[in-house]
Homo-oligomer: A and B are copies of this chain.
Amino acid sequence: MKKIMNQVQDMVRESCEGFAQAHADIVALNAEPLFIYRRDMPVQVALISGGGSGHEPLHAGFVGRGMLAAACPGEVFTSPVPDQMLAATRQVTGAAGALYIVKNYTGDVMNFELAAELAAAEGLTVQSVVIGDDVAVQDSTWTAGRRGVGGTVFLEKLAGAAAEQGASLEGVRGVAERVMAGVRSMGLALTGATVPAAGQPNFTLQDNELELGIGIHGEPGRARVPMLSAADMAAGLLDPVVADLDLKRGEEVLVLTNGMGGTPLLELYLAHREVRRLLDAQGVKVARQLVGNYVTSLEMQGLSVSVLRASADDLKLWDAPVHTAALRWGA
């Protein structure tokens, strides 16, 4: 195992320290318990998320104006604990209340639930949404039901824009639920990834195969298949997504072509070309798009595609100003 790190047990903390130094104009770091929060938090609904580390820039990279109020990083591929979420909630929640954005993994769901109860006991108003956008598998090693993956970026951006515009907690939650109903994702891996504490790759693929339907922790997918062309990769990811969304000719979508962390942009933009070609051929209109490594799995090579059926309101929320480490425009 070769990682840029000092001691395994210090990796997440030290990385968060570097992140907070690099983006000190946007975020601040709370060291104990560990969370990242927005420096200039105004009076509005506070979006709070978190999850295991190793998926950067998710979630800390989305803390800032127009997206999250706080993010709680767990150890690598391990849920943060309720103490982190509770402390973050105290830090950023005002009279407008807070919305927890939880990716559907058993540990995350349980710990955010517990934190919500503790926060409520202190008189804080907290609601939660749980996203499960991965069409690859129904249940998996880490999850009952669908896993939360790339669609989380759309959820955090659109709900964050609604909060920034002064929507109520019910209003922000309504946007979040609309996104969850309209987004689907699927991913594939060309390589595994090594969790620092394990020291060994979480799985190994031969030089002529890929794993289709992989999760962001390297959970098994639908099938291990011989290596595919970029065109066939795009079809293998998009077809189940389009079918599950029941997308029709003429509909508008927001697309994320997402790298798994170790995927170079040269390859990712090529994949995006194939995604666009397939959607064009089906008469689906790509109204907005995002290409990059946004919801990752350490150094894994591979990609995922997320598609959101987007209304005019959704596009306005997407276009609204955002100022975070990983997404920035109009602000």
Contacts and interface: CB of A to CB of B under 8 A. Distances in A.
Query: Of residues A15, A53, A210, A303, which shows the largest number of chain B Cβ atoms within 10 Å of its Cβ?
Result: A15
A64 to B, nearest CB: 12
Contact of A267 (B15, B16, B271, B276): B15
Taking the full assembly, how many copies of this chain does it contain?
2
Contacts of A301: 2, 262, 299
Contacts of A57: 265
A263 B76 CA distance: 16
Contacts of A284: none
B207 A14 contact: no
Contacts of A265: 15, 56-57, 61, 261, 293, 296
A291 B2 contact: no
A5 interface: yes
B22 A289 contact: yes
A90 interface: no
A135 interface: no
Interface residues of A, number: 58
Interface stretch (A91-99, A125-133, A228-236): A228-236
Contacts of A191: 2
A14 B53 contact: no
A265 B14 CA distance: 12
A316 interface: no
A264 interface: yes
A230 B4 CA distance: 5
Contacts of A233: 4
A250 interface: no
A195 B305 CA distance: 25
Contact of A53 (B6, B12, B266): B266
A2 B210 contact: yes
Interface string A22-39: 100000000000000000
A43 interface: no
B4 A270 contact: yes
A56 B273 contact: no
- 9 shortest interchain CB distances as A-B pairs: A18-B273, A18-B269, A4-B267, A56-B265, A262-B262, A18-B272, A15-B270, A19-B269, A2-B190
